[in-house]
Chains A and B, each alone.
Chain A
Amino acid sequence: MAKLLVIRKINMELKELFLESLGTLALNRMRTGLAALGIIIGIGSVIALISLGQASQKSVQNQIQALGSNLLTIMPGAQRTGNVRSAIGTSTSLTYDDAKAIATSPQITTVKNISPEFSRRAQVVAGRNNTNTQIIGVTPAYAEVRKVNVALGVFITQRNVDALDKVAVLGPQVVSDLFGEGANPLGQSIRIRNQSFRVVGVTVSKGGTGFQNQDDMVFVPLTTAQKIIFGATNVTSISVEAKSAEVMTQAQDEIGYFLLARHHLNDPSQADFSILSQNDILSTASSITSTFTALLSGIAAISLIVGGIGIMNIMLVTVTERTREIGLRKALGAKKKIITTQFLLESIILTGAGGILGMILGIITSLIISHFINLPFTLSLFSIVLAIGVSGVVGILFGWYPANKAANLQPIEALRYE
Chain B
Amino acid sequence: MSAECLWGIKNFMIKVKHVSKIYRHDSLETVALDDISFAVSQGEFVAIIGPSGSGKSTLMHILGALDTPTSGSYFLDGEDVGRLNDDELADIRNKKIGFVFQAYNLLPRATALKNVTLPMYYAGVPKEERLKRAKEYLEMVGLGDRIDYNPNQLSGGQQQRVAIARALSMQPKIILADEPTGNLATNQSLEIMEIFKKLNEEGHTIVMITHEPNIAQFAKRIISLRDGKIVGDKKN
Contacts and interface: CB of A to CB of B under 8 A. Distances in A.
Contacts of A328: 105, 107
A28 B150 CA distance: 13
Interface residues of B, number: 27
B109 A20 contact: no
B94 interface: yes
Interface stretch (B29-37, B61-69, B152-160): B61-69
Contacts of B101: 415
Interface residues of A, number: 22
A335 B118 contact: no
A332 B166 contact: yes
Contacts, number: 61
B166 to A, nearest CB: 7
Interface in A373-418: 410-413, 415
A27 B86 CA distance: 29
A17 to B, nearest CB: 10
B99 interface: yes
B7 interface: no
B123 interface: yes
B110 A27 contact: yes
B38 interface: no
Interface string A315-352: 00000000001001111111111100000000000000
Looking at A331, A336, A337, A413, the one whose CB has the most chain B CB atoms below 10 A away is A331
Nearest to A30: B109
Given A332-B119, A336-B86, A410 B109 contact: no
Q: Among A333, A334, A410, A415, find the residue whose CB has the most chain B CB atoms closer than 10 A.
A: A333
Contact of A330 (B90, B107, B109, B127): B90
A409 B111 CA distance: 27
B87 A332 contact: no
Interface in B110-142: 110, 118-119, 121-124, 127
A325 B118 CA distance: 12
B95 interface: yes
Given A331-B66, A411-B66, A415-B66, A28 B90 contact: no
Contact of A334 (B90, B99, B166): B90
Contacts of B110: 27
B121 A410 contact: no
Most chain A CB atoms below 10 A, which of B90, B91, B93, B170: B90
Nearest to A338: B122
Contacts of B121: 16, 20
A369 to B, nearest CB: 39
Given A20-B121, A410-B67, A332 B109 contact: no
Contacts of A338: 122
A335 B86 contact: yes
A108 B170 CA distance: 99
Contacts of B64: 331
A13 B95 CA distance: 19
Contacts of B124: 13
Contact of A333 (B67, B94, B107): B94
Contact of A410 (B66, B105, B119, B122): B66
A329 B93 contact: no
A333 B61 contact: no
Given A27-B109, A325-B107, A415-B105, A332 B94 contact: yes
B87 A336 contact: yes
B22 to A, nearest CB: 15
A335 B121 CA distance: 11
A415 B94 CA distance: 16
B87 A335 contact: yes
A27 B119 CA distance: 19
A342 B86 CA distance: 18
A329 B110 CA distance: 13
A330 B87 contact: no
Contacts of A336: 86-87, 90
Contacts of A13: 124
Interface string A358-375: 000000000000000000
Interface of A: 13, 16, 20, 27-28, 325, 328-338, 410-413, 415
25 contacts: A13-B124, A16-B127, A20-B121, A27-B110, A325-B107, A328-B105, A329-B118, A329-B122, A332-B94, A332-B118, A332-B119, A332-B166, A333-B95, A333-B123, A333-B170, A334-B94, A334-B122, A335-B86, A336-B87, A337-B87, A338-B122, A410-B66, A411-B93, A412-B66, A412-B67
Given A335-B87, A335-B90, A335-B91, 20 more contacts: A13-B124, A16-B121, A20-B121, A27-B109, A328-B107, A331-B105, A332-B94, A332-B99, A332-B118, A332-B119, A333-B93, A333-B95, A333-B119, A333-B122, A334-B90, A334-B94, A334-B122, A336-B87, A412-B66, A412-B67
List the 6 closest pairs (A to B, CB-CB), nearest first: A333-B94, A412-B66, A27-B109, A411-B66, A335-B90, A333-B122
